[in-house]
Structure 1
């Protein structure tokens, strides 16, 4: 199967066939690729970014001349070791790393898989690759809940603010309120404060006391407990006020953010009347956790489950196999759990692939796989606890005014969605989409899907995966080329 002639010169020699294709070069995908290559498999690692590491190990662009990128990260030494192994395998020809390749579809071709990717800075190029086995490590994206003023310049995603700092060495503002829910907020607030921003408050919609009600889970994963203590000490040192059971319910300003209103919430996340207090700031970094990126896996028919945080995650066995034979997954696709879990799952999934390639024989060190399974169970238990603690409560929809935009792409307001439900009889998010166009814009519901389901009262859809035929925007010319028999 030839690679398209429109590919950049660097990828024109991409092999037509490989034993294992790994999609995603974040912590899980990188660990999987180098472990599989260690075991002797021919591996192709595809990733949309220009360099390995994913969102977590995002590094400054080379042109910025950063001399100490490790200062922006925890566990940089582990990443540096994986990157060095990747370089050695690339030089030896055991791994082909296709950077700038965003896979938009995967299909079964006989006993193999055909992967289609867009390439180049504008997505105008294309590539196709066949693989005997497929490992999906596509990570996650940030979950946002709308509120009045969230479209004002100066409102950024919490993960986005951290990405700006890691990749561009820039701060989104000078006085930044960090808000939302989830442990990521602590890391973001610490990073921003350490880089020189003033962080007057970290606003957490849930609370941290619920962790204490699961002492066995905490005791089984002391590393996460130490991490929480370390972040707490850093926040205190930087004089960041931690406000729990509160949320930003309004943003103030004309041309950009000038301040936010923070309101106390009840146990269901409903704002309590009369509790709103203004905090002056020039930037709001907000996010309500992460959501697994499942487009490719769902398109292949992989089964999903409802995670403790209310989002869909893949059903995986103890060796990271999905319900589709020949397809494995690792990292956030199986549920949000953090970098240490992603690294462990990437390695374990690769060992499972090696066993499959050797007709069921275990890897060179069966004790390693056993240890990884044990560590995975421990870390997955903490991940489920974390998801349950920070899962958005149903009362968050009461933050919204009628004119609050929910779907930013199509400018659909909360009032329009409520009208579709209350007056027009929409009983599910698909009908809401047909009546209002919510979720039909450029992002295809990635930003607003969770919010639309919440406003529509679709409790039965909790944890249901979004189904998109294409995992990213694809030029029509690329679709036309992919439809030619010689390209598949």
Structure 2
């Protein structure tokens, strides 16, 4: 059966888009790779496991209201909710779109390849942590900041007892406070940038008082747990034999160069590092959606005021249009749902006055997101922390020195670096090393920290097309092909 709408992603944006379209009378299929709704923001343990507690979540009232709405439509038969379904590609067909999924809801080894069809498509696949390599980042005990939070939300597990959280951006604060609430000792939050960078962006904060209140709440929590926030400070190395044992902290200047003599070694057993996020654009790229470069160095999907992409019938909402957080994702999802209704010739599900408010909220939250990205950039000279023997691509075990040698030999961009070194050809397909390889490929002639001009922006990191967005067993594909041929022959 072909749905009126297929929504890919069960986080805030996808849930809001599905709920809005359902309220307008459409039949919807909602797909998500997780075992529960909520995405990474409202990540919950698998059904039947030990609960982790509401204190790890924000705005659970909205989450539960959305779950209730979706569940009511599921019972009524207007919503097909398919969890543990991994979308590996999507293509346009004669009457909409064919979404190819891998059903992993059964036991291991029993995956089934399926095709879900819909007249319109909303892509709300979220983002993943952006990482930068540094000596020791591949030691057990070194996590992304999002990984620390995911362990807590999904499993109720603190990664260690002595923890440092480092990188840049406000996301470090909820991670640190959640880890401290779990009973671990957070020794420091290391913010690479100076708070003075917010000086010229006060207006965005004033127009978003809820964000200011949220920040004040984190400040109180940090003070309660006695967690120091060290600004203009980074982790330049992790140390250990079989696992993480210590980290080296250092103060940096305005572009990220280490200030000599400020290095300090701290004993830890867990480290969470976060340098912002990268939109999960695989499906949007495969479908041909036009991209543009955003202020944080990422490429994002270009959308109109109703979240419509450049491809007819494809709408994009949430972090794929620019990293902006859950509140923005919810409103973008709502706008996407309204656009689907309008394109289907249905009346809006949201009252006109409220719809005007939603659009204003989106504008305000996008302005705050841009200000946040400008106040918390990746330090320009971060490659000065990277030694030649530092692993740059963990999947293929490519050291940074080999990348630099490829550039010296004539490689002019990350694609040529990939061809010469295999950086980005491993299991993650460049998701962890792509940004770093691009930066290393554009080091200037004076070595680390000297950056050659890059056409298009600060790093010009452009994600590449991956026809297979998630690993899929060949046996599942073969079985699906066999079944399709058998059915067509009958």
Q: TM-score range by the shorter chain?
A: over 0.9
Local SS of the residue matching 1:394: coil
The CA distance in 1 between the partners of 2:252 and 2:202, in whole Å, is 26
> How big is the shift at 1:482?
6.2
Cα deviation, residue 175, structure 1: 0.5
Aligned-pair CA distance for 1:471: 0.9
CA–CA separation in structure 2 for the residues paired with 1:481 and 1:335:
38
Distance in structure 2 (CA, Å) of the matches to 1:262 and 1:324: 47
Map of 1:118 onto structure 2: 102
Residue 127 of structure 1 is aligned with which of 114, 117, 122?
114
Aligned to 1:82: 66
Cross-structure match for 2:406: 420
**What RMSD in Å do the two structures reach over aligned CA positions?**
1.7
Aligned residue number for residue 317 of structure 2: 330
Aligned residues: 470
Give the structure 1 partner of residue 374 of structure 2: 388
Mapping 1:131-142, distance limit 5 Å: 131-142=118-129
Aligned residue for 2:86? 102
What residue in structure 2 maps to residue 454 of structure 1?
439
Q: Does 1:437 align with 2:435?
A: no
- 1:23 paired residue number: 8
Higher mean C-alpha deviation, range 293-302 or range 54-63: 54-63
Deviation at 1:201, TM superposition (A): 0.3
Deviation at 1:212, TM superposition (A): 2.9
The Cα shift of 1:431 comes to: 0.8
Preserved contact between residue 314 and residue 322 of structure 1 (Cα < 8 Å)? yes
User: Superposition pairs for residues 20-419 of structure 1, below 5 Å?
Assistant: 20-66=5-51, 69-120=53-104, 121-122=108-109, 124-358=111-345, 362-363=348-349, 365-419=351-405
**What is the rounded CA distance, in whole Å, between the counterparts of 2:118 and 2:336 in structure 1?**
16
Task: Could you tell me which runs of 5 or more consecutive residues in structure 1 were left unpaired when the two chains were aligned.
Answer: 1-15
**Cα 1:195/1:96, change in 2 over 3 Å:** same
Secondary structure in structure 2 of the residue aligned to 1:19? strand
Counterparts of 2:113 and 2:53 in 1: how far apart (Å)? 32
Structure 2 CA distance for aligned equivalents of residues 481 and 104 of structure 1: 16
* In 2: Cα distance, 1:115 partner to 1:393 partner: 39
Cα distance between partner residues in 2 of 1:216 and 1:93: 47
**Which residue of structure 1 aligns with residue 448 of structure 2?**
none
Quote the Cα distance in structure 1 between the aligned partners of 2:227 and 2:196. 19
Q: Which residue of 1 aligns with 2:447?
A: none
Identify the residue that residue 464 of structure 1 maps to in structure 2. Answer: 462
TM-score (norm 1): 0.93
Distance 1:325 1:312, change over 3 A: same
- Once the 2 structures are TM-superposed, how far is the Cα of residue 108 of structure 1 from its aligned partner? 0.9
Deviation at 1:479, TM superposition (A): 4.1
* Partner SS for 1:447: coil
Cα distance in 2 for residues equivalent to 1:280 and 1:65: 31
Residue 182 of structure 1 and its aligned partner are, at CA, apart by: 1.3
Counterpart CA distance in 2 for 1:463 and 1:122 is 36
C-alpha spacing 1:288/1:320, structure 2 compared with 1 (3 Å): same
Instruction: Report the 3-state secondary structure (helix = DSSP H, G, I; strand = E; otherwise coil) of the residue aligned with 2:48.
Output: helix
Q: Secondary structure at the match of 1:209?
A: helix
**CA offsets 1:442-466 (integer angstroms, 9 cap, x no match):** 0000000000000000733614233
Distance 1:479 1:60, change over 3 A: closer
Shift of 1:203: 0.6
Rounded Cα–Cα distance in structure 2 between residues aligned with 1:480 and 1:365 = 48
Verify the 8 A CA contact 1:60 1:69 in the aligned structure 2.
Answer: no
Q: CA–CA distance in 2 between the matches of 1:127 and 1:452? A: 35
Taking the aligned partners of 2:245 and 2:69, their CA distance within structure 1 comes to 47
2:435 touches 2:461 (CA, 8 Å); kept in 1?
no
Secondary structure in 2 matching 1:214: helix
The answer to whether the 8 Å contact 2:35/2:46 transfers is no
**Is the alpha carbon distance of 1:286 and 1:161 closer, same or farther for their aligned partners in structure 2, counting shifts above 3 Å?**
same
CA contact (8 A) 1:307 1:387 kept: no
Q: Summarize the Cα distance change of 1:438–1:64 in structure 2 as closer, same or farther, 3 Å threshold.
A: same
State the SS of the aligned residue for 1:369: helix
Contact 2:144 2:273 in 1 (8 A): yes
**What residue in structure 2 maps to residue 12 of structure 1?**
none
Q: Aligned equivalents of 1:463 and 1:24: distance in 2?
A: 24
* CA distance in 1: counterparts of 2:367 and 2:480, whole angstroms: 42
Residue 265 of structure 1 and its aligned partner are, at CA, apart by 1.2
